[in-house]
Structure 1
């Protein structure tokens, strides 16, 4: 791609390089850079990961935490033309599963898709591809895996570009 198409979904497995790739794309645009963090820091290990990500990003980034109401925040942020990186949808899906019923979760995903269709700001979203592993051994984990797969499909359909990152190598899926 000669010019960055957005909205842009970046998919990959755990530690595939997807966040680093997404951050580099955002850094190719003029600051300020906005980082929407969906993680809830519930333990020391997650706090360490967050610190590592923040250190890697540097001072041009403004972090906004958003564990649940992502569409509402993206609508607010879209009033300014600065780039937005959402990292990551996978944790957002987890937050939704632990907080809402299935119908409300699907409505939240649909609302984000609506924002993607109308977004004026450069918008990049990171998500894990969770469907390549073994079938989970319990109903909640299977529900989560199925929901993440369904939601990633909807988000991908709403995005102008989709890239899969594997072993640090970005593979464009859309547009081809």
Structure 2
């Protein structure tokens, strides 16, 4: 089963995705694949908050770039938190849009139950610089690809997850 939780920043998608993953009923402890790179104090605080929120309910893996290589040997459900930060990392490290799509295609082909968290960045204005426009464009393409391959998709707003697929 593949599932996507999408919404704006601070919409409640991470918590909803965590609860959903824990309720999958697997006999194995689920994995939490963290994609965020620790770059500054503010990001450190955000990461700490997420660690406290999930407690010891998950086996934490960290993979800012290589999702597929990290996941290809896991068998339990995996919560991928989050694909938009992963896209940011990929662009920062010089990966092309094609490489990003190719990589997420490999992840989507894995047999695991996968739960994706993705920020909806396409609801604002068109950014004024090329890199930000590239980020919005590839983020939108990846969210559409993931949603098309998922069995279920939830839109999150104000802490409420509404099933849209």
What's the TM-score, normalizing by structure 1?
A: 0.86
Segments of 4+ in structure 1 off by > 3 A?
none
Aligned length: 163
- The aligned residue for residue 51 of structure 1 is 48
* Structure 1, unpaired ranges of 5+: 1-5
CA distance in 2, matches of 1:93, 1:46: 16
* Structure 2, unpaired ranges of 5+: none
CA distance in 2, matches of 1:138, 1:39: 23
Counterpart check, 1:94 vs 2:73: no
Is 2:87–2:100's contact at 8 Å kept on the other side of the alignment?
no
CA 1:116/1:101 → structure 2, altered by over 3 Å: closer, same or farther? closer
Correspondence for 2:69 among 69, 72, 78: 72
What's the TM-score, normalizing by structure 2?
A: 0.91
Q: Secondary structure at the match of 2:6?
A: strand
**RMSD of aligned residue pairs (Cα, Å):** 1.5
Q: How does 1:28-47 map to 2 (within 5 A)?
A: 28=23, 29-30=25-26, 31-47=28-44
